[in-house]
Amino acid sequence: MYVSLTTGVVTHAFNVFPPTGEDKLKDIDKIKETKRQEFMTGCERLGIKGVFLDWAESPMLIGMEEYLVLINLIREFKPDVVMCPHPTEVGRQDHMDCGRYAIAAVDYARADGVPSPLAPHTVKDIFMFYYPDFRSDQLLGATRKAPEVIVDITDVLDRKRYAMEAFAGTQAKKDEDYDKKMDKFFASVDGHVGFRNGMGYAEAFVRWHPECVQYLPLSS
């Protein structure tokens, strides 16, 4: 299941609103529907279920009502693993907030006293992803933990690109070549991770619950 907490219409829709005017957002509901259709098309191309929510974005404002939606989704779907943005991905504020809310919802989903009609569910692990960015390290006051899970996606890269291309209608900027934009994305993100880890293209994740490993003492 792929859950989008917001429509992305504020920061991920280019050239769809006039630059000025008191009524510049008069077609926002129409654009939200376009974003929904793009999202669902992307999910269909990946072969997964999509859930498209329309929560306040930029900034994200989440209260008990929204938390209960996430909690009930988790309790109904019963995932073993939740994947979400890293909660300190500075520069992409909604990504950062989304990660924080997702991690909190996972914690609340296992609690008995949450006002939900569904039975508690414990998620075994959370895997967080992020773009490398020095500003995030400044926010933490320390370097973020290096990714410990690297997944080779070379064999499914074409499928991932096919899914992302569903958003070209709203995310291509004026006079922008979206194919070249995708080329740059995969080279600088997935290609970069793959190069650093001896693979073609790869995705990197940090565990919320680090895997405990004992290296010492060594035995002969």
What pLDDT, in 10s, does the model give residues 45-57?
Answer: 999 999 999 999 9
The rounded percent of the chain whose pLDDT value lies above 90 is 74
CA distances from 174 to 31, 121, 161, 162 (A): 17, 45, 21, 21
* Residue 95 DSSP SS3: helix
Q: How many Cβ atoms sit within 10 Å of the Cβ of residue 205?
A: 19
Which domains are seen in the chain, by residue range? Answer: 2-207 (3.40.50.10320)
* pLDDT of 124 higher than 80: yes
* Residue 130 confidence class, pLDDT cut points 50, 70, 90: confident
For the chain, the average pLDDT equals: 91
Q: How far apart are CA 103 and CA 98, in angstroms?
A: 9
Q: How far apart are CA 53 and CA 49, in angstroms?
A: 13
Burial status of residue 17 (CB atoms within 10 A of its CB: 0-12, 13-18, 19 or more): middle
Within 13 Å of residue 120, how many CA atoms lie on the same side as its CB? 11
